[in-house]
Amino acid sequence: MVAVKRVRARRRHVQTELLDASGTKPRSRRGGKRRGAGRPPNGARAGSPHKRRETFKASEPLHVVLRVMAVMGALRKREMYRALRWATVVIAKHEDVRIIHLSIQQTHVHLLVEAQNKRALARGMKAFQISAAKLMNAALGWEVRRRGKVFADRYHAEVIRTPRQARHALAYVLNNWRKHREDRGESARNWLVDPFSSGCSFTGWKQLERRDFMWKVPATYDPMIVWLPKTWLLQSGWRRYGLIDCREVPSTRQATPGSAGWSQPKEEQQQQQQQQQQRSTTGR
């Protein structure tokens, strides 16, 4: 008896459509722009997006923002100031990346940086963050020295291309403590510029316009170690839009007299009130 081999019927494969009826969007329900899509935030607040860094020229400075972990606490303390100051000393030996100005706030640090290229910026910021992390962990003063991550996410960098943008960046970084109302504290009332910044070495203050010397700082105060600017934008280009007032409150827009982000000094407000009272009494 001969066995008969049963042949299985071939399965017919049907070509699935990769695109929908419009021919432009994928048929799959996954992917695409939707609420909650993308990389989840590293912590309570989303950091800088993980995209390719913007290209820039050596003549274009950058505004860099570094945010720290919540476990580090407030940064506007003497120990943290010393730690970040020593980190600026470490990066000062790199000539291809230079910190021009620095401002320490409670949860983040603002930097104005000049760099030769993207690679120099990346190496310089890496060296600064590593040095600052070691020194800041030691500055906490815990019984068991803390080790681990200090900065919450990758740094945010904005390229400065115009004199107006450079003036706005300088005012934003050096007067950022007024935006966060740190100037209203008891220890800061005697300071005209932010003591937790490099403002004492800045020569573009409006209050120094007719003075031959810089402000006198206390003998116990150690200023930040920063470079003199080499780019035209931070040297003199920004001066086209006026000197920076020490009492200027920065905002997202350029803070200049008459703009929404500018706060009028109290002395000028009192003078205007007195003039209005005199006019009302004299009937003019």
pLDDT for 259 equals: 45
The CA angle 137-143-145, to the nearest 5 degrees, is 30
**pLDDT digits 0-9 by tens, 86-139:** 999 988 888 899 999 999 999 999 999 999 999 999 999 999 999 999 999 999
Mean pLDDT of the chain, nearest integer: 82
Contact 60, 119 (CB under 8 A): no
Q: Which two tokens stand for residue 284?
A: 């003019």
pLDDT for 252 equals: 44
Q: Which two tokens stand for residue 26?
A: 């994928």
Residue 262 lies in a domain: yes
- Which CATH number fits the domain that encloses residue 261? 3.30.70.1290
Residue 92 lies in a domain: yes
Residue 28 lies in a domain: no
Residue 91 lies in a domain: yes
The amino acid that residue 84 corresponds to is L
Instruction: Tell me the pairing of strands 108-115 and 97-104.
Output: antiparallel
Mean pLDDT of 56-60: 95
Residue 146 lies in a domain: yes
pLDDT for 258 equals: 44
Domain, as residue range, for 215: 62-271
DSSP reduced 3-state for 95? coil
0.75 exceeded by pTM: no
Residue 104 lies in a domain: yes
pLDDT for 256 equals: 45
Rounded Cα distance between 62 and 56, Å, is 9
Q: How many CA atoms lie within 13 A of 24 on its CB side?
A: 1
CA distances from 4 to 7, 9, 11, 30, 98 (A): 9, 15, 21, 48, 85
187 pLDDT higher than 80: no
Residue 153 lies in a domain: yes
pLDDT for 213 equals: 80
The CA angle 16-19-22, to the nearest 5 degrees, is 135
The domain tally of the chain equals 1
Residue 229 lies in a domain: yes
**pLDDT digits 0-9 by tens, 25-49:** 666 666 666 676 666 666 555 556 6
Question: Of 43-57, 92-106, 138-152, 215-229, which range is least confident?
Answer: 43-57
